[in-house]
Chain A
Amino acid sequence: MTEWETVVGLEVHCELATATKLFCACRNAFGDEPNTNICPVCLGLPGSLPVLNRGAVELAMRLGLALGCTVEPSLFHRKNYFYPDMPKDYQVSQYDQPINVDGVLELADGTRVGIERAHLEEDTGKSTHVGGGGRIHEADHSLVDYNRAGVPLVEVVSRPDLRSAEAARAYVNELRAVLVATGASDARMEEGSMRVDANISVRPVDFSTLGTRCEVKNLNSTRSLGRAIDYEARRQIALLEAGEQVTQQTRHWDEADGRTHPLRSKEEAYDYRYFPEPDLVPLVPGDAWRTSVAESLPPLPAPRRRRLAEATGSATAAVAVVVERGLDDLVLAALAAGGDAQRLVVHAEHDLAGGVGALTTDAFAALTRMEADGALTATQAKAVLAELVANGGDPAAVAAALGYEAMAGDALAVAVDDAIAANPDAWARYLAGDTKVSGFFVGQVMRATKGQADGRVVTALLGQRADAGG
């Protein structure tokens, strides 16, 4: 039986966070009253002329440089199609000479996904279909709001480097983090400021050529994206295993029935007759501009993860969560202030999801120091941390106020010895190498000490007893 591999490339449209549209001075805003941000340019009235927005170019360059792209001299083309969401009957986009080419996006788990291009284009107006239950093909008529027509977009096109629904979702999350970090976009999928189309194909795992792909649209969340990829891969595999072919086509994801459906489009809809936009001159950002944009970029998620992983030696997943929460600077500062690396990361990953509140760097460092020295158990440290977040203060004073007295080392040793003596069979299994039994002993000691013991210290003591010859 053939083993199949799913191959995914994503095209993500990101609305840029400019004040105005790409080619006119109308406001770029989500949620305004319909048709209140319109002018002769974005309505395509005869005689109007587009003028490129410097701010949009700058944000596109920020994103491109953050993705490791080369910023190239670029041109605008007209993409012609007859549809009421563009009153001009063409969309201005970049075609064979896009502004950003050849980059890479590094995901949280270290996977590197190639970026083919990230080009500038204008968004379309928003159509509402009336009648036929909102379905486009059964609609009685459509209503168009041109507030969004001409809003600047960057379309980020990945290479087909993704191999699963999970990887595709991780890619979108990472791209969103880069968009937010660079200030290029607010990247809100639910408001449509970040829209994802997926090119999906399957092939036998040992094949190097790509299978026939389908492009899936209408993915309004990372959850939809994941579901659509899984569905579409299953559909294509079923076709191929039945000896049929996959037809290259555009398909629409239906969130309600959990399937993709072919769009009933005419072949000619894809005959866009691109030609250079005569009303716009070439865009050639000079070295000085490119350099100043590159220098103004903030630290990006991937290098921040590397920095934190190197400083703390923590696992990839924990580091990714801490950076995603924006707690890496706090952890690094607390580490420099003498905190315990592992415990800082563990608390940042698990106990600070709601924010740091009144917690100071020094208090965070001191807390993990107390924990490392055995003055607080992990459970007690959590409680002290919650108090530090809520009301601030000094961890030693908070621990004392909460009545946490560290168990003396010998009291703990006695409890461990008692547990061993009371459970000779379990201890024999432990000595025979059954490490699962150590959890049992930790539980016994915890019960005997009413939860005051530090599980890690108990485990260490068990190891010492075993090394000492049982």
Chain B
Amino acid sequence: MAERITRDDVAHVAGLARLELTDEELERFTVQLAAVLDHAADVEALDTAGVAPTAHPLPLVNVLRDDVVRPGLDRDVVLAAAPSVEDDRFRVPPVLGEPS
């Protein structure tokens, strides 16, 4: 059986999440993620030909709220919890790559 997930895959996914992993962690997570994918493969093996796809485990649709303003959080309290603040804004390191 082909490998479910390679070390390179794990390194790629970690990179996307800006996680720096040690070699030892890469090895360990490759094994652990492969186990998760094995489980998904078990589920995939079931015959679901006659089963309609579900988008959500809850038998609910249209959970909505009215468009009415309610107070949120106090700025000073929130900013006090931030690592760095400038000009009433969250101060973050320079970023490369453009957002969508």
Contact = CB atoms under 8 A, between A and B. Distances in A.
A136 B94 CA distance: 8
B69 A27 contact: yes
B89 A145 contact: yes
Interface in A119-133: 124, 127-130
Contacts of A35: 75, 78-79, 88-90
A85 B89 CA distance: 12
B76 to A, nearest CB: 10
Interface in B63-88: 63-70, 72-73, 75, 78-79, 86-88
B81 to A, nearest CB: 9
B65 A141 contact: no
Contact of A281 (B63, B79, B90, B100): B63
B40 interface: no
B56 to A, nearest CB: 5
Contacts of A112: none
Contacts of A34: 75, 87-89
A81 B67 contact: no
A468 B6 CA distance: 96
Interface stretch (B9-17, B29-37, B42-50): B9-17
Contacts of A252: 98
B68 A25 contact: yes
A141 B91 contact: yes
Give the contact-size bracket for chain B. 35 or more
Interface string A212-239: 0000010000000000000000000000
A83 B90 contact: no
B2 interface: no
Given A141-B94, A143-B87, A268-B12, A38 B68 contact: no
B52 interface: no
B60 interface: yes
A263 B63 contact: no
A222 B55 CA distance: 39
A451 B50 CA distance: 85
B1 interface: no
B64 A269 contact: no
B96 A137 contact: yes
Contact of B72 (A25, A139, A250, A282): A25
A68 interface: no
A145 B99 CA distance: 15
B72 A128 contact: no
B24 to A, nearest CB: 23
Contact of A39 (B68, B73, B87, B88): B73
A185 interface: no
Given A81-B99, A278-B56, A52 B89 contact: no
A456 to B, nearest CB: 55
A142 B16 contact: no
Contacts of A97: 55
Contacts of A183: none
B95 interface: yes
Given A82-B18, A84-B95, A141-B91, A55 B66 contact: yes
A435 to B, nearest CB: 58
B96 A36 contact: no
Nearest to B75: A35
A43 interface: yes
Contacts of B98: 136, 217, 250, 252, 263, 265, 269
A55 B67 contact: yes
Interface of B: 12, 15-18, 55-56, 58, 60-70, 72-73, 75, 78-79, 86-100
18 contacts: A20-B69, A25-B69, A26-B72, A35-B79, A35-B89, A38-B75, A52-B65, A54-B65, A82-B17, A139-B94, A142-B91, A142-B94, A144-B90, A145-B90, A252-B98, A265-B98, A273-B16, A281-B56
